Amino acid sequence: MNELLLAALTIAILMVATWLISVAIKDASIVDISWGLGFATVATVLWIADDAKSNLDTLLWLMTLLWGLRLCL
C-alpha cells in the first residue's frame, strides 16, 4: 500500500474516532490529546509497514514517537 495513503487512512480513523468520542462526552478538548497521539500513531504504522528498516528509520521513528507522546501528555 502507498505510504501516503496508509498515513492518511491512519490519521482519518484516529480523528474520526476522536470526534465520535468528543460528541459522546460533549467535550472537544480531547482533540489536544489525539493531536500528539496522531503523530506517534502514524509514525508507528509507517515504521511497521516499512520492509527495509535502517538504523536511521528506527531513530526517526523513536524520536517522532517520543515527541508525539510528549504532546499528548
Distance from the first to the final alpha carbon of the chain: 31
Query: Quick one: pLDDT at residue 73?
Result: 87
Task: Please state, as a whole number, how many other Cβ atoms lie within 10 Å of the Cβ of residue 32.
Answer: 11
Let me know: does 70 contact 52? Beta carbons within 8 Å.
no
Residues 40-55, mean pLDDT to the nearest whole number: 93
Give yes or no for residue 1 having a pLDDT over 80.
no
Average predicted confidence (pLDDT) for the chain: 94
Give yes or no for residue 21 having a pLDDT over 90.
yes
Cell 503523530 belongs to 39
